[in-house]
Amino acid sequence: MSAQAASEPKPVPTLRLQAALQLLAQAGQSLPGDAPQGSLRWLQAVIDGLCDLSSRDALTGLSNRRQFELAIAREIDRVARAGEPALVLMVDIDHFKRVNDTHGHAAGDEVIKAVGQALQDCVRPMDTVARFGGEEFAIILPNCPPAFGQTVAERIRLKVQRRPVAVSSGAEVAVTISIGGAFAPQWVRSSAPLWIERADQQLYRAKSEGRNRACLEQPTVSLVSAEEKSLLFGTSQFQDIE
């Protein structure tokens, strides 16, 4: 190889971004107009937009299942180390199949979007509302004392009940939800599946007792020694990124 050939710069490979840009455009994600295409700031905006899309439910715009699992893992870690209360609510739309059968699947989508918006309207910025799957939602409420849990759940239930959903056929659909809730055990490093399962059990209870109600599990009091508490700080799966 000649010295001249060795000194020539290697061609920079072209990134294939057409599919990514189409996804962002379809989702209404805008890129900075004042940043040249291909610049570092422009590419960072593309990456940020794709990350946001990957964490959102396409229908409702809420957090999706993946984002919910990340959020609940962080909350379990925080509760274990800080001992602060936290509540998970599992929410299910009552008689949702009846909506689809009567008004069609497009109306069902409108109901899901309306319920998701109602849930989002009821929570604080620090809370996480996610579409868990189908007509089921999940809400993580950090620092929610047990004394307020039932009040919060009832406020959410009534918000949905009092907001009929207008569908494309011109009809208004009355919607109710059933809610099940469970508190994370304080000073204990639980697991997301166990915490969700306990909330799900309360959701099943709400369904079996007639629907359109909120059932919350009474929190247990965990007695943990000071030494055990100190050990919790050394086992955080998020300690390297906090």
CA distances from 101 to 81, 97, 110 (A): 48, 6, 14
Highest mean pLDDT among 50-59, 179-188, 207-216: 207-216
Interstrand relation of 214-216 and 165-166 (parallel, antiparallel or unpaired): unpaired
pLDDT at site 10: 60
Task: Give pLDDT, residue 228.
Answer: 46
Measured CA to CA, the distance from residue 182 to residue 195 in angstroms comes to: 7
pLDDT band at 36 (very low <50, low <70, confident <90, very high): confident
Is 227 assigned a catalytic role? no
Query: Residue 3 burial (CB < 10 Å; 0-12/13-18/19+)?
Result: exposed
Residue 9 has pLDDT above 90, yes or no: no
Strand partners, 86: 142
Mean pLDDT along residues 88-109: 96
* Average pLDDT for 219-227: 56
What is the C-alpha separation between 187 and 225, in angstroms, rounded?
9
Angle between helices 105-122 and 146-161 (to 10 degrees): 140
pLDDT of residue 241: 45
DSSP 239: T
Average of per-residue pLDDT across 47-52 = 83
Task: Please name which of 212, 52, 63, 54 lies closest in space to residue 137, comparing C-alpha atoms.
Answer: 63
Phi, psi at residue 173, to the nearest 5°?
A: -105, 120
Of residues 8, 75, 84, 135, which has the active-site annotation?
Answer: 135
Give the model's confidence band at 33: pLDDT under 50 very low, under 70 low, under 90 confident, else very high: confident
pLDDT digits (tens, 9 = 90+) for 39-49: 888 888 888 88
The answer to whether 157 touches 203, Cβ cutoff 8 Å, is no
Whether residue 84 is predicted with pLDDT greater than 80 in this model: the reply is: yes
